[in-house]
Chains A and B, each alone.
Chain A
Amino acid sequence: MRKSWIVALAALAPLYAQNIVIQSATIMTVTKGTLQGSIVIKDGKIAEVGEKVMMPQSATVIDAGGQYVIPGIIDCHSHIAVDGSVNEGSVSVSSMVNIKDVINPEDIAIYRALAGGVTTANILHGSANPIGGQTIVLKMRWGQDAQGMIFEGALPGIKFALGENPKRPGNPPGGRGATQTVPARYPATRMGVEDTIREALNQAKAYKAEWDEYAAKVAHGEHPLPPRKDLKLEPLKEVLEGKRYVHAHCYREDEILMLLRVADDYGFKIRTLQHVLEGYKVAQEIAASGTGASTFSDWWAFKIEAYDAIPYNAALMQKKGIVVSLNSDDDELMRHLNTEAAKAMKYGGLSETDALAMVTINPAKQLGIDSRVGSIEAGKDADLVIYDKNPLSDYAKVQKVLIDGRVYFDRDNDVNGRPAKALEKQKLLDKEKQSQPKPAGGRGPAQ
């Protein structure tokens, strides 16, 4: 049953070789300009980038003449590869749940993201709760198991959510008061959302004090009984200690400002504001707090809190010095983040490099993985995408995608492998049809 995969893998076999050279391409490094040249890959890392490179012994050559290479695209907001619901919506603080526990490496969305040039994705809990679950960064290593997908060394995160979504369960369709038929979950307003977050952080602070006291006693040579480990408060304790990134879904300027001030009160920084469609209205406050912003290119008007969204958001925030990334939050949009980046050129006049940065080095910085990915520089992971045309053109197609120096997507192989896959499936369908009893009665066309 895996024959077609085996055939495809066999065809790729030479590209598993440790040394690869991508030759004669237009290389858009993002951080060090654009050049015509080659990239040498050794042991999964970029060894050399230049107009002329040292050809290693026994290297597999990928001739990329006339083609473009960019760093693997990083999607800072995604919900793919998750088994079960992305929301633990039964409680308004669900920090005890962890996306890491439910990674589904067989989600076809991973492969489709690869085919769109994505090599790394920040997989988040949904936005049903003011404080959601723990999040994880994955590389799109299609074919590996769940553990194999995890971006080793990326700091863990947690999802916060503000605005309409987390207060929706507080406003059930039956209405409130006498007409209420469905139980409502606190909070029902933005005020309650703030309160829920403050309350949880308050509890986390007390929890941290308990554990700090315990640690101090142990350091003193005492043998106290440890406090109860609370999975809900543990990750929040880590937030207070700066060991866990907070990614906060938000829309309106008031809630954006609110959260920045709450974080100040509790002594930590929000790592990224997600969606942040009104970020342009409070850009200087966001810039002052050092928080990154991950937004849509041009979505608007699907909710009232998105009515003031403008496609210039990313450019306006970037001009104020905020590190801005463009994300998808959608299985389909994820497949063309390159053209989403191009929209930042149209709306806001960003340069090609600055636009491309929004889906490469910027999200890498936001996720704290920029020492490993996000640009084409020697020493970084060989996460690369080869396009047949300039990737900022919507006429461009992804040809190949490498992660850690290994080809994970090859359009030619994908296209050539389709007949065999279809045949395999048809065989099973035919086999099943033969063993089925004939259905009774006729099935005429509709009239």
Chain B
Amino acid sequence: MKKLVPALLVLCAWAMAGNPRTLAIRNAKIVTVSGPVLNKGTVVVRNGLIEAVGENSAVPPGAWVIDGEGMTVYPGLIDSLSTVGIPSLAAATAGRGGRGQTTATPATTPATTTAPVTRAMGPEDRPATTSWVLAADEIDPSDRRIESVRSAGFTTTVTFPARGIFGGQGSIIDLASAEHAGEMVVVPAVGQYLAVSRGGGAFGGFDAGFPRALMGYIAYIRQVYLDAEHYKLLNEAYAHSPRGMERPPYDRALEGVLESRRILLPANRVVEMDRMLRFAAELQQPVILYGMREAYRPEAAPLLKKYGSPVLVSMHWTEAPRDPDPEAYRTLRSLENIDLGPAAPGLLQKAGVPFALYSDGLDQPRDLQRAVKKAIDAGLARQDAIRALTLSPAEIYGVADRMGSIEVGKIANLVVTKGDLFDDHTQIEMIFVDGKQYKPAPEPPTGSGRGATEEPGVSQ
């Protein structure tokens, strides 16, 4: 069998050119997430969907068979807050996802925003609002991060146009090698991305315009929602009986806001969680909080349960500073964040708060694996870690009917490993996105800190 597997894989690579529409992975351990683990089973994929899964599922004739002996099949991982697919937003990932109240990567302004500022922008100008944008419309299949993230086992990202204050709506993207971005889109609009700082310095010049302070951002957002309500009222009245009424102007920013079924707001400290949850309730918007660095604190879970909102927990754990000044002041809070941060997912799990994990700028397979392992070591059960990256994000975004677990009829997004997923020595053998197989790209020798690999992968 040991010789057969590589031989079969070679055949596989060769057969990729033929793009088999039906394949089966046999004799593998299958972690369905939605049900019990199958110690030995078969998954059948046809036309990009899971056709069958079970201990004794029949392999259809003509299917390309993969021997899964010694391997484990998991649902493909879903990164619930990402910018992968929009290369222009990768720029500041070398830094961190999280500063202040936002964990978004700071943006380069795309062509769709307003012209360079020549005078002070007041609130009525609504700078930094591109609420009508859909990430789906900006996806560039050549983004190098796609391959890198996929090699870590992620088949899907929820990609957001993370820029400005109202960035636009995120889209669920399958990380397939496609000629047209549209083929990658699973759901084009899943919610409006909001930020309450613009990164790269809140004091960046007076001409950056309103708002600059945190309270300015909150007032800004509040006014936009008031305007959206008013806009809706006017338009409904006009639509009902236009005669004799001055027509309300078309405002695509407000249209974008009205179209969003939910909002995402940043919150790292418990104080921020409390603030943002109350704010979202005031705006009457379903909300998903992202960041959640202090979710380990005892006040966090009860607060979150009270509101019932799901949260996205950043995997970019706060780390101890390297080579610090031994006399530099360290606050107790920062020490606790470092020590207990990774315990957050386990605690949320125990408290029954719906949550998912997200990459927050990490895009190297080793970094991603280590990050999840840290949470497991800190008390998150492995199967819960897997769920936090598969079925939970699917549920949060309302697509649990089509992805997030290995079930008949769902999209064939799978990751196949030798060893338990997230363990230090586990190898990812192959990834399937929409039923197509991909090989993980070889890791750069020094691991984290570098961009996606330069070497061409075997995948298409």
Contacts and interface: CB of A to CB of B under 8 A. Distances in A.
B274 A84 contact: no
Interface in A216-271: 225-226, 228-232
B213 A225 contact: no
Contacts of A88: 210-213, 215-216, 219
Interface string B402-446: 000000000000000000000000000000000000000000000
Contact of B227 (A106, A226, A228): A228
26 contacts: A1-B297, A2-B298, A83-B275, A84-B215, A85-B202, A85-B213, A85-B214, A87-B213, A88-B211, A88-B215, A90-B206, A90-B208, A90-B211, A101-B218, A106-B269, A133-B215, A145-B299, A183-B206, A225-B234, A228-B230, A230-B223, A231-B222, A232-B123, A428-B336, A431-B339, A432-B339
Interface in A1-46: 1-2
Nearest to A435: B320
Nearest 10 CB-CB pairings of A with B: A84-B214, A85-B213, A428-B335, A97-B215, A88-B216, A96-B219, A90-B210, A88-B213, A101-B218, A90-B212
Given A85-B213, A91-B123, A225-B237, A231 B226 contact: yes
A294 interface: no
Given A229-B226, A229-B230, A425-B332, 19 more contacts: A83-B271, A83-B272, A88-B213, A88-B219, A90-B206, A90-B212, A91-B210, A96-B223, A97-B211, A97-B216, A98-B215, A98-B219, A101-B215, A102-B214, A106-B271, A133-B215, A182-B205, A183-B206, A228-B230
B323 interface: yes
B332 A169 contact: no
B191 to A, nearest CB: 22
Contacts of B122: 91
A225 B208 CA distance: 35
Contacts of A1: 297, 332, 336, 340
B338 interface: yes
B210 A225 contact: no
Nearest to A108: B331
A439 B278 CA distance: 45
Nearest to B209: A90
A131 B309 CA distance: 37
B328 to A, nearest CB: 11
Interface in A74-97: 83-91, 94, 96-97
A432 B318 CA distance: 13
Q: Say whether chain B's binding surface is mostly helix, strand, loop, or mixed.
A: helix
B47 to A, nearest CB: 50
A183 B120 contact: yes
Interface of B: 100, 120, 122-123, 202-203, 205-216, 218-219, 222-223, 226-227, 230, 233-234, 237, 269, 271-272, 274-275, 278-279, 297-299, 320, 323, 330, 332, 335-336, 338-340
A376 B243 CA distance: 66
A226 B271 contact: no
A287 interface: no
A133 B332 CA distance: 33
A353 interface: no
A98 B220 CA distance: 11
Main secondary structure of the interface of A (DSSP, over half): loop
A185 B219 contact: no
A264 B202 CA distance: 38
A57 interface: no
Given A145-B274, A146-B275, A431-B339, A89 B206 contact: yes
Contacts of B323: 439
Nearest to A229: B226
A97 B218 contact: yes
Interface in A131-173: 133, 145-147, 169, 172
A71 interface: no
Contacts of A101: 214-215, 218-219, 275, 279
Contacts of B299: 145
A185 B336 contact: no
Nearest to B197: A84
A103 to B, nearest CB: 8
A429 interface: yes
A99 interface: yes
Contacts of A145: 271, 274, 299
Contacts of A428: 332, 335-336, 339
A133 B210 CA distance: 13
Nearest to A133: B215
B120 A91 contact: yes
Contacts of B207: 183
Nearest to A89: B212
Contacts of A98: 215, 218-219
A145 B271 CA distance: 7
A424 to B, nearest CB: 7
A182 B206 CA distance: 8
Given A185-B206, A428-B332, A428-B335, A90 B216 contact: yes
A428 B338 CA distance: 9
B227 A432 contact: no
Interface string A421-447: 100110011011001100100000000
Contacts of B205: 182
Nearest to A230: B223
A105 interface: yes
Contacts of A84: 100, 202, 213-215
A424 B206 CA distance: 44
Contacts of A83: 214, 271-272, 275
Nearest to A437: B322
Contact of A94 (B203, B216, B227, B336): B216
Contact of B213 (A97, A183, A431): A97
A189 interface: no
Contact of B215 (A102, A230, A232): A102
Given A85-B213, A97-B215, A90 B274 contact: no
A433 B214 CA distance: 35
Contacts of B339: 428, 431-432
Nearest to B196: A84
Nearest to B203: A85
B5 to A, nearest CB: 38
A104 to B, nearest CB: 6
